[in-house]
Structure 1
Amino acid sequence: MFETRPDRDAEVVLVGRSNVGKSTLMREITGHSFDTGGSPGVTTKPNHYDWAAEDFVITDLPGFGFMAGVPEDVRERIKTDVVRYVEANAERILVGVLVVDGKSVVDIIDRHSGPDEIPHDVELFGFFEELGVPVVVAVNKMDKVDDRDERLDALAERLGLYPPWQQFEETLAPISAKRGSIEPLEAAVRHHLHEAGRDDLFKFF
Structure 2
Amino acid sequence: MFEDRPARDNEIVLVGRSNVGKSTIMRELTGHAVPTGKKPGVTRKPNHFDWSGESFMFTDLPGFGFMSGVEGEHQETIQTDIVHYLEDNAEGILAAVLVVDGKSVIDIIDRHSERGNIPHDVEMFHFLEELDIPVVVAVNKMDKVDDKDQRLNDLCDRLGLFPPWQQWQDDTIAPITAKKGRINSLREALSHHLHEAKRDDLLQFVKK
Shorter-normalised TM range: over 0.9
Aligned partner of 1:153 in structure 2 is 153
CA distance in structure 1 between the aligned counterparts of 2:91 and 2:116, rounded to whole angstroms: 30
Aligned to 1:62: 62
Q: Deviations over 1:141-180 (max 9, x none)?
A: 0010000000000000000001000000110000000000
Partner Cα distance (1:135, 1:38) in 2: 26
Q: Secondary structure at the match of 1:125?
A: helix
Query: Aligned-pair distance for 1:66?
Result: 1.1
1:40 and 1:63 map into 2 onto residues whose CA distance is 8
SS for the counterpart of 2:91 is: coil
Cα distance in 2 for residues equivalent to 1:137 and 1:47? 20
SS in 2 for 1:90: helix
Q: Is the 8 A contact 1:54 1:201 kept in 2?
A: no
2:144 counterpart residue number: 144
Which position in structure 2 is the counterpart of 1:80?
80
Counterpart CA distance in 1 for 2:157 and 2:108 is 14
Q: Secondary structure at the match of 2:189?
A: helix
TM (norm. structure 2) is 0.96
What stretches of structure 1 of length at least 5 have no aligned partner?
A: none
Aligned counterparts, 1:85-124, within 5 A: 85-114=85-114, 116-124=116-124
For 1:42 and 1:191, the matched residues in 2 are separated by 31
**What are the within-5 Å matches in structure 2 for residues 154-193 of structure 1?**
154-169=154-169, 170-193=171-194
Q: In percent, how many aligned pairs have the same letter?
A: 67
* Matched pairs, number: 205
Unmatched 5+ stretches in structure 2: none
Q: TM-score, normalised by structure 1?
A: 0.98
Q: Distance in 1 between matches of 2:97 and 2:58?
A: 10
Q: What's 2:196 paired with?
A: 195
State the one-letter code of the partner of 2:56: F
Residue type matched to 2:104 in 1? S
Equivalents in 2 of 1:144, 1:117: separation in Å? 27
Name the CA distance, whole Å, in 2 between partners of 1:198 and 1:52: 18
Residues 126-155 of structure 1: per-residue CA shift (max 9 Å, x gap): 001001010000000001000000000000
Determine if contact 1:134/1:192 at 8 Å carries over to the other structure.
yes
Runs ≥4 residues deviating over 3 A: none
The answer on whether the counterparts of 1:125 and 1:159 sit within 8 Å (CA) in structure 2 is yes
CA distance in structure 1 between the aligned counterparts of 2:100 and 2:40, rounded to whole angstroms: 14
State the secondary structure of the residue aligned to 2:69. coil
Partner of 2:27: 27
The residue type equivalent to 2:40 in the other structure is: P
Deviations 1:18-74 (A, max 9, x none): 000001110111010112223110110000001232210100000011111111101
Deviates more, 1:12-21 or 1:33-42: 33-42
